[in-house]
Structures are given as C-alpha cells and as structure tokens.
Amino acid sequence: MKSINNKEFLQNKHQAGIILRPNSKELKDVYLSIKEKFERHGIKTIIEKISGEMIEVTDGLSLTMLARECDFLVTIGGDGTLISVARRSIKFGKPILGINLGTLGFLTSVLPEELDKFLSDFLEDIYTIDSRMMIKAIINKNKTIAFNDIVLKSKSVAHMVNIEAFIDGKKFNSYYGDGLVVSTPTGSTAYNLSSGGPVVYPLTDAFIVTPISAHSLTQRPLVLPADFEIELKTPDENGAIVLIDGQDIYELKKNESVKIKIANQKSKLIRSIERDYFSVLNQKLNWGK
C-alpha cells in the first residue's frame, strides 16, 4: 500500500471538452456562462454530443471524440457526473475538472462563481492533478471499471446474502449479512463510510473491504494492498446483484464470481490548490467541529 502525489501539469490547455449532468435541460444558461468564461481566458470549448442535444446545441462530439481531441475534460454537475465521465474516458488518460452546481462535493473542484479565479491560476500552473486508483472487474465475462466501489448485495431487501471471498485464489473469509463493499480510497467516503468502513487518503493504492450489516460482530473492515486480486462469489441459490459505483447493475448467479484488480490506468482529477482533502473532510463531515 503506497501513497502517490505526483506533480503533473498539462502541456496544452487550448481546448476543453464539456459534459453536462444528464437530464438537466435547465443547465443551458449555466453552460453558456461557463463556456464564455473559458473562452475569455483563451480556452476553446467543445460540448459532448448528448449534452449538447439536451440543451439544443448541435455541434457536439461523442465522448470518445471529445476525449481524443481535447486537452482536458470538464464536467458540470455533481460527483456522480464526474464519476460517470471518469469511468467512460479512463483509457484516454485526460484530466477532468469538475464544476459543482450547488454544495461543494468530494470530487468536483470548483463552483461556477470560483471559475474565473481558478482559470487564471490554472493558466499559470497554480493547480494540482490528483491520480486516483480505479478498480477493474470481471463479472461473468463482462469487464467494467469502478471509480468508487463494487458492492455485492442480496437481490431482496428481505434476505441476507452469503459471500465467499478469496485473495489470489485462496479463501480468506466468508461474509453473511446485507452485502459487501470493495472500495477504492476515493470511494472510502461513499458507501464504505456509511457501512462503517475507514476513511482512507484518496491518493493511496489500496482496497477497502467492508461488510454491510454483518450478521457476526467479528466481521470487520479490512484494508488490503492493491496488488492483490480479490474474488467474490455466493453459494446462495438466489445469487446476488453487483452494483458498480451505484450506476450499473449486474446479476450474479450461484457460484459465479466477481474478480477485482487495480485498473492499469488511474483517473486524473484537476484540483484547485486551495481545496485540499482535509478541508473537504472538515466541510463535508464536520471534522474538527
């Protein structure tokens, strides 16, 4: 388990690809205002095709083309929008700037009213790019990527689920309860935290394995080095469901497995230097108050 905090800067900042929160037609004026701020600082913007169609802007590009052509990506919405874009664009390695609409999120870096100042600093290399570990999973031959977590749960809220867990092919535990969360350090403040798991510094490479309402009091959260492969399966006749970042869902039949490893690529998040992780914990979790 190791902590990584590389000083990395963009060589080019000429073009930004913008993705909006889905199903939010009311964002058109916000988008036009943000677009104007970027272009006032000499940064051209291109909107993602689906986002553009949502607000009746017709010159957008697919996310794949956007990630190929732009120097960095910008999400306008909340943490969920950023997570979705990070998962879908990971293979292109483009840094993502999150603009949050409303309260400050864990991942989104700036509010719209802070954007002018941030862009002035950004052009002077006064910012940080954080590299965040992501999870690669194989579920019944389906390959997927998780930013925050992978969760195994019973198909029915009325029943608990048995989960057998293996590390590098060797069984290390059996869980019986409402489910199991396998989280990245970034995701440690999401479902993992609400299930009683630990907060782990997000630039660490590690897995956090946390039972959800375990039937046994001896079951406790576990932090594992990220070079292990974790395999999960259920002996239950009814099987289980697998949730990926709360965004995608898969069905797991009896004795079928989920294989989990650290992804080859990391997600890169652009962050204001004025917004460090511990100040966010203070604001979001009321630490130190």
Give me the domain span that covers residue 151: 135-262
Number of separate domains in the chain = 2
Selection from 16-20, 58-62, 216-220 with the highest mean pLDDT: 16-20
DSSP secondary structure of the chain: -EE-------S--SEEEEEEPTT-GGGHHHHHHHHHHHHHTT-EEEEBHHHHHHTT----B-HHHHHHH-SEEEEEE-HHHHHHHHHHHGGGT--EEEEESSS--SS--B-GGGHHHHHHHHHTT-SEEEEE--EEEEETTEEEEESSEEEEE-SSTTS-EEEEEEETTEEEEEEEESEEEEE-SGGGGTHHHHTTPPP--TTEEEEEEEEES-SSTT---EEEETTS-EEEE---TT-EEEEETTTEEEEE-TT-EEEEEE-SS-EEEEE-TT--HHHHHHHHH-TT-
From the candidates 71, 79, 121, 248, give the one annotated as an active-site residue: 79
Q: Residue 283: is its pLDDT beyond 80?
A: no
Q: Is 121 a catalytic residue?
A: no
Confidence of residue 45 (pLDDT cuts 50, 70, 90): very high
79 with 140, same domain?
no
241 with 276, same domain?
no
* pLDDT tens, position by position, 85-126: 999 999 999 999 999 986 657 888 798 999 999 999 999 999
Taking the whole predicted model, whether its pTM rises above 0.85 is answered as: yes
Please state, for a pLDDT cut of 70, what percent of the chain lies above it: 96
Q: Residue 214: is its pLDDT beyond 80?
A: yes
103 with 150, same domain?
no
129 with 9, same domain?
yes
Q: What is the pLDDT of residue 102?
A: 67
